[in-house]
Amino acid sequence: MYAQMVKSTGEGVKSLEEMEPQERAFQERINADVKIEPKEWMPEGYRKTLIRQISQHAHSEIVGQLPEGNWITRAPTLERKMILLAKVQDEAGHGLYLYCAAETLGVSRDEMTEQLLSGKAKYSSIFNYPTLTWADIGAIGWLVDGAAIMNQVPLQRCSFGPYSRAMIRICKEESFHQRQGYDIMMKLVKGTPEQKEMAQDALNRWWWPSLMMFGPSDTDSVHSAQSMAWGIKQNSNDELRQKFVDQTVPQAEYLGLNVPDPDLKWNDERKSYDFGEVDWNEFYEVLKGNGPCNAERMAARRKAWDDGAWFREGLMAHARKKETRKMAAE
């Protein structure tokens, strides 16, 4: 069914001996942990993989503002409203650094936006779920930002310089986001029985989609083997998912909440949790555009792009005028 996805891991990854001299020299620099910078030679596949991943990451940060933006006007206190505003603003900043990092690879912001709006480029599946209660804002910070950090800390060591440097700042901000989410959850579980129930309900709805954020299982991941050989990814999708479960289950226990997985069990031999199978059918349906909020998210992005046309035109006219004045003065 998902023929495009079900390529075996490792297929197509060349060994050093199979590479042409230029490509071998490139791979040897990566193996020696030397960062690759935009103007240096790189294989076309490396460039394309980075544009795909960085632009999808940028789109996720931008689309990711929508579910939380939904609660800015309804935050329970002025302090919570200010914190949420700052967080959502941070996500916009992350999107912008990431678009800039991708632009160094020779793709324009307009092209990337066009790819998002035409459905060619993806954004994270997680942002196609609705935020029904205030507890969802806590669950997003705790679980979604928690999963994002687990995935993004290793990306600080990515072989491509601009992406790796962007990730350093992003990760610092993400840890503030994760803590503010956990803080909301703490407040709710210590509140009334209804508030604790709201927190449990949010965990029930966000747990599995958070595990899906790490991508398909290693056997079905199309890009992992090559991306790991190129030093773009440092860990496989399943490795990071397992680390996230191991980190998060004790946090749920501390909150007094139940993780909605009957198969979740501590494995003393592995010193790690065994957990149930992700519903991959749901994951691929969301990727195909059939999640609960895909249509709404894309409509919001399209409207923002169309509504901003006059502003982009104004900026261009201003830049042209400045350039003409500068030339006349020379």
Q: Are strands 265-267 and 272-274 parallel, antiparallel or unpaired?
A: antiparallel
Cα–Cα dist 294/288, whole Å: 9
Least separation in angstroms between residue 242's CB and ligand FAQ is: 14
Residue 103 binds ligand FAQ, judged by CB under 6 A: no
Residues 75-94 that bind ligand FAQ (CB under 6 A): 91
Measured from the CB atom, the residue of 214 and 275 that comes closer to ligand FAQ is 214
Q: How far apart are CA 128 and CA 296, in angstroms?
A: 8
Q: Per CB under 6 A, does 55 bind ligand FAQ? A: no
The span from the CA of 277 to the CA of 272, in Å, is 16
- Indicate the residue among 54 and 196 with the shorter CB distance to ligand FAQ: 54
- Alpha-carbon torsion, ordered 230, 235, 241, 247, to 10 deg: -140
Write the binding mask 229 to 268 for ligand FAQ: x where contact by CB under 6 A, - elsewhere: ----x---x-------------------------------
Restricting to residues 176-215, name those near ligand FAQ by CB under 6 A.
212-215
Q: Is 125 in the site for ligand FAQ (CB under 6 A)?
A: yes
Closest separation in Å from C-beta 325 to ligand FAQ: 40
C-beta of 167 vs 259, nearer to ligand FAQ? 167
The verdict on 294 binding ligand FAQ (CB under 6 A) reads no
With CB under 6 A as the contact rule, the residue among 80, 196, 205, 223 that binds ligand FAQ is: 223
Q: At its nearest, how many Å lie between ligand FAQ and the CB of residue 55?
A: 9
The two three-digit tokens of residue 103, written as one number: 């632009």
Closer Cβ to ligand FAQ, 143 or 255, answer by number:
143
Min dist. Cβ of residue 205 to ligand FAQ (A): 15
User: Are 135 and 157 within 8 A, CB to CB?
Assistant: no
- Helix/strand/coil (H/E/C) assignment for every residue in the chain: CCCCCCCCCCCCCCCHHHCCHHHHHHHHHHHCCCCECCCCCCCHHHHHHHHHHHHHHHHHHHHCHHHHHCCHHHCCCHHHHHHHHHHHHHHHHHHHHHHHHHHCCCCCHHHHHHHHHCCCCCCCHHHHCCCCCCHHHHHHHHHHHHHHHHHHCHHHHCCEHHHHHHHHHHHHHHHHHHHHHHHHHHHHHCCCHHHHHHHHHHHHHHHHHHHHCCCCCCCCCCCHHHHHHCCCCCCCHHHHHHHHHHHHHHHHHHHCCCCCCCCCEEECCCCEEECCCCCHHHHHHHHHHHCCCHHHHHHHHHHHHHHCHHHHHHHHHHHHHHHHHHHHHC
Which of 113, 133, 227, 294 is close enough to bind ligand FAQ by CB under 6 A? 227
The span of 100-108, 122-130, 193-201, 250-258 binding ligand FAQ (CB under 6 A) equals 122-130
Q: How many residues bind ligand FAQ (CB under 6 A)?
A: 30
Least spacing, CB of residue 216 vs ligand FAQ, in Å: 5
The correct pick among 27, 55, 56, 164 for binding ligand FAQ (CB under 6 A) is 56
Residue of the chain from 29, 122, 165, 297 that contacts ligand FAQ (CB under 6 A): 122
* Binding of ligand FAQ by 115 (CB under 6 A): no
Interface mask toward ligand FAQ for 136-155; x: CB under 6 A = ----x---xx--x--x----
In the complex, the residues that contact ligand FAQ under the rule CB under 6 A are: 5, 52-53, 56-57, 60-61, 64, 91, 122, 124-125, 140, 144-145, 148, 151, 212-216, 221-224, 227, 233, 237, 287
